Structure 1
């Protein structure tokens, strides 16, 4: 959530920032409510002052053994009623202001390239050489089904489209990837945490999933709970409504979870395989940091996500997203895109974002600033460390052999207990 003071102080700058996101937002309505709010507060304070003065006058009369006039009693009762009306009116205005602000995306950082969409993203570096195969590469779903480790037909029968069933060595490979990611990130100082997969409305609102992306979420209507789209939601909400000690920052967490997304806006895209499923596994990285450290922490977050791909021998590139492609809550985002030999292209496997104080304001997470002695909003960051299903797909496509078997990356072998997956 943006600080309304930022909009109030330079509405033209904020409007321009929104336009760079392809958002035309009329802030005049918001600022009109803000002015009305100030007027109501002033009027209410004046009424309270007058009521207090008259209450004091009544007290003096009673102490002197005199009865206050009917006119004075009537006036103080009328003031009480007016104050109650004003308080209700103020709550209504503040609710409208909050609803408006909840729908406004974050302001892109000045270092983010201005652009309309993903075509304007900027590739900042390429790491590793894409796999060069001496034969025509197959897609991961073909490889997995041939090896008997992926079964999309069974998943469709059980649940519907965009689900997968893992079998045999596929189960071991999935677990190996998860364990490898967790172990590697813990070496980097991230504390492991496991959280519920069901969260309440406040948690979804805090990280920006609600109200903007309600159609993307799976909701348990009877309980008003939501299946998490990513572990970012529950992990970031751990400190909602709390004040942290500056000496304890940064706080860094790694969390494995299953993730659930409707993929409502992806009709017809990636209908095969593991790239865009309704349920998938992911290892998430979350940071709580001082504002002055957040950009440096973003760069280290990207490095940590990339490190696990490098240790697996997977080539990838890092792209800085343009303003038109940056997510709703993010101020700056890097995407890591892994090479898929079957596609012959790079595909997103991780997004690493700096939200600055956007999420912290929505969740009221602050820290005690040692220099100013004030309680300030901290900055939050998160990134995939990384998507497990897409890593599974990348391993199948990049380490496939001509006879249809798949060589297991060396870093995973101590977890899988085997070096190669062959057709039974």
Structure 2
């Protein structure tokens, strides 16, 4: 099977070369993107750089006026960041644990993902990092919580700490300043694992509800919609009654979430479907309405029908067009609101960690971008905050950005890099 996987990967590489000739030259970005017509790929485009990491002294490129340093190093696939009120920084260290491959394409895809360090044995822990002297580098590391099931999202409400494991939300008792949780957790919500496995969490501004992103099992409902029940959605958990249900649906893989403070609106970044072209459809940033349906798997970017999928005309008719396109297959995962003045030269807006593509002829993402906001809405083109995670020939990834969070000093941005195994800290130069 290893030989067959390699052979399939060679075929996939040939398809990459062929598809480059007809690939769009402009990314589908912004509030009114130009999205190319869908082209069924048959054999999926399969292209991902080899994970290398950062050599000593090599750091990401920054926007003018910014500097970057390693806040924490030596992690094991850091994915998500939560900054506690006392300044402690929690990092979820976890990795996709794939099911046994069933097809030749599965073998090829998993071989590619392993080369990129995207799948394998998961650390299944949350570590705590503390910068005791305020110099922007963590001096102490503690294992805050271990033996979890692919932990990702984290949230603290009062004296309860919540973890988004791939199979559900678990609550733990917490006391301010503690560096390790040893008490048993209590399962509040159960989710189906596997597929898009990350479970991001965010607390409502009033502290009464917890929202969780639950991605789809498959690309376009490939195993039937019964298997997708409860997935491709954002859930809401009432923290008083502990009742949970779907808040919005049709979101193929909603990961990072953030609140826009002037309107109190929830926003998310969503990874769209594969197999229709380099820019078709684009990943996106969107506000999220209660009860809203965003198209997956039947359609995309409003009512553009995906004819690979058995249709539901009633759902297509009410599909909401997203607010802002982020380019095809950028794997936009991290999201946080950044107030004006946090970093010099940046107004109010959203920061997005783009993990980077694996399924297009010319790679996209592999950067941290900023989308400015005015009046509660995106108001201009994206700007790079960090780049340089990818070699010029697209063969090597020094890092891949994922989670983003504002530092405790409110004058810095923290970025999880799961290939570099680093938490980067971005500040004024």
TM (norm. structure 1) is: 0.25
Q: Rg larger in 1 or in 2?
A: 1
Higher strand proportion (structure 1 or 2): 2
The structure carrying a bigger helix percent of its residues is 1
TM-score by length of 2: 0.25
